[in-house]
Amino acid sequence: MTGKSRKIAKPEDHALPLPLDGLSRMQEQLLRLAGEHLSDREHWQQERRRLVEEKVWLRAMIDQVPDYLFVKDDQCRFVIANKALMGDLKNGTLDVVGLTDADVHPPERAAEFMADDRRVLRSGRPMIDKEEFVLLPTGEQRWLSTSKVPLRSDDGEVIGLVGVARDITLRKHAEQQVRFLAYYDPLTKLPNRASFEENLEDVARLLEPGEEARLMLVDLDRFKQVNDTLGHAAGDELLRQAADRMSQLVGGRGQVARLGGDEFVVTMAFDNLNHERPFYDLLVQRLAAFSIMGNDVHVGASVGVSKIHTSTTPLAALREADIALYDAKAHGRNRWQLFEGGMADELERRHQLELDLRNSLPHGDQFTVLYQPIFDASGVSVEGVEALVRWVHPELGMLSPDRFIALAEERGLIIELGEIVLRRACELLARTDLPWVAVNVSPVQLHDPLFPDRVMNVLGTARVAPSRIQLEITEGVVLEEFGQARPVLDRLRAAGMRIAIDDFGTGYSSLSYLGRLSVDKIKIDRSFVQAIGNTSGEAIVRAVIAFAKALNMTVTAEGVETEDQQNFLRAAGCQELQGYLLARPMPEEQLRALMGSR
């Protein structure tokens, strides 16, 4: 534009025409002309003032605009740049007039900007709202929305361009955030389910014929217990650490995604199938133990593996991995399992079992309750009994709780089932002078705020005093600080029921936790009773008994099977014994006979 801009006429260019005919006329004319000239000069001076003023106002205006405003000539050189643009380039110390983008931006960026300039100059068509990324000399990264409009001379020739660039960094960040939230899990920063499903389709599509990839469905075994015991912050920390470990292990060879809860998925292709099994071993090993907020916790992971090949759909691969995962869990957890054809039948059986459970609950007649007596330390008198449910399935016969309790918990059927057992226990109490019955309560029931009302209702109907009911709960539930279980337990205890911790020692509580618990009884887990005979096992049992006594709690030993165990426990001061040595779980008639005979 510099070479072709219109010049404003200057006063020196005006030639003054001199009259020649006669002095008086000349004088007259001179005076007139002088007057005209004077007024011309005045006019010009006024015009000049107006232009200067206008320039000042225009400058002020373009400098006040926060967007970048600039004019470039036909050689892509800056002619005008506003303060916003100058301020951001070279920290504002550089006057860009006369320079091109090549003088102020890194080569790659400059080349792109100048290519746009040339396109506008050559075509005469504007570029509107192009989103571009710039790295400022300060190191700041910025997103701009830039428009470049051709500037034409009076005869229509393109002589330069006018540019406007608006900072859209905040908007871009917001867009990125929205995209991140749509495709990533904010907690672990891993891709989420939506993103995984898209990726899985790509993995399957990009496989060569005959090539296979693997899908690993990973489930943390004791996530819920960590959450319940150490709180949600610890649960979150566990998920983050597990995600990091898996990402490190997989590296660039595949993708790790979080499907939700404590369920993760790994997709990976192995170029050498000999590396496959060692990888699964390593995956399970890496997720075995964690240090969470100062606590060493054994978590463990179960992994179900399926094959992704060109002929299977991603959905089928996911379903097969799910079946394999279920199998890994059913066979002891903390292990991996490849999908095999027969497993689908197993899953089908499980679905059928769930259906049967659902259908049988309203009548309740397929459930029978056995009672295992709990004796005093001498093993002579029955202090109370523990109610233990069995399911007499019309086709499968007598099923023990490990076949259906977890299923009932998972499917929310445990509340109904728990009520059946409690009702039977209360009916037994109403018919006998048995001091108390202990019933097992699932954490799922304790998270139901209506649970105390349900219990009081059953007790009221059977006219049984709350003091004759003991509720056996797991360690995790009592230690939970943030959940709803605590107030529920407090209400039950205030109503007169006693609370016992079942299977004590298998959770995460240490002896020092015991003082914080509002419970009446501890049942030492059978695994500690079995350890009686070796020095450290005996030391643990002694310590638990001493501690519980100091806190005025009753101690029951579970799984007492030998006389040596009984003798040791009695000597150590354990008040109550339960186990096959003394009595197995039995039906009501047998229990009545036993009590009658004593």
- Residues forming contacts to Mg ion in the complex (CB under 5 A) are 440, 472, 502
Judged by CB, which is closer to Mg ion: 200, or 544? 544
Smallest gap from residue 516 Cβ to Mg ion (A): 22
Judged by CB, which is closer to Mg ion: 88, or 472? 472
Smallest gap from residue 269 Cβ to Mg ion (A): 47
Judged by CB, which is closer to Mg ion: 480, or 502? 502
Smallest gap from residue 529 Cβ to Mg ion (A): 14
- 312 exposure class (CB count in 10 Å sphere: 0-12, 13-18, 19+): middle
Cβ count within 10 A of residue 51:
11
Smallest gap from residue 331 Cβ to Mg ion (A): 24
Tokens representing residue 23 in the block: 């002095």
96 neighbors 104 (Cβ within 8 angstroms): yes
Judged by CB, which is closer to Mg ion: 472, or 525? 472
Chain length of the chain: 598
Judged by CB, which is closer to Mg ion: 228, or 472? 472
- Half-sphere exposure of 569 toward its Cβ, with a 13 Å CA cutoff? 32
Smallest gap from residue 407 Cβ to Mg ion (A): 18
Judged by CB, which is closer to Mg ion: 470, or 565? 470
**Cross-strand partners of 78:** 72
Judged by CB, which is closer to Mg ion: 338, or 524? 524
Smallest gap from residue 477 Cβ to Mg ion (A): 13
Smallest gap from residue 344 Cβ to Mg ion (A): 34
Q: Which residues neighbour 471 within 8 Å (Cβ) at sequence distance 6 or greater?
A: 438, 439, 441, 492, 497, 498, 499, 500
Smallest gap from residue 438 Cβ to Mg ion (A): 7
Smallest gap from residue 440 Cβ to Mg ion (A): 5
| CA proximity to 256, closest of 238, 235, 240 | 240
Element containing residue 338 per DSSP (H, E): strand 336-338
Give CA angle at 377 (493, 565), nearest 5°. 115
The dihedral over CA atoms of 197, 199, 200, 202, expressed in degrees to the nearest 10, equals 130
Smallest gap from residue 500 Cβ to Mg ion (A): 8
| CA proximity to 165, closest of 103, 121, 101 | 101
Q: Which residues neighbour 256 within 8 Å (Cβ) at sequence distance 6 or greater?
A: 190, 191, 243, 246, 247, 250, 264, 265, 266
Judged by CB, which is closer to Mg ion: 374, or 399? 374
Judged by CB, which is closer to Mg ion: 458, or 501? 501
Judged by CB, which is closer to Mg ion: 88, or 502? 502
- What is the rounded CA–CA span in Å between residue 401 and residue 264? 29
Concatenated DSSP letters of 45-96: HHHHHHHHHHHHHHHHHHHH-SSEEEEEETTS-EEEE-HHHHHHGGGGT---
Q: Which residues neighbour 342 within 8 Å (Cβ) at sequence distance 6 or greater?
A: none
Tokens representing residue 481 in the block: 């600080």
Judged by CB, which is closer to Mg ion: 168, or 479? 479
Smallest gap from residue 509 Cβ to Mg ion (A): 16
Concatenated DSSP letters of 466-526: GGGEEEEE-HHHHH-SSSSHHHHHHHHHHTT-EEEEEEETSSS--GGGGGG---SEEEE-H
Phi first, then psi, for residue 25 (nearest 5°) are -65, -40
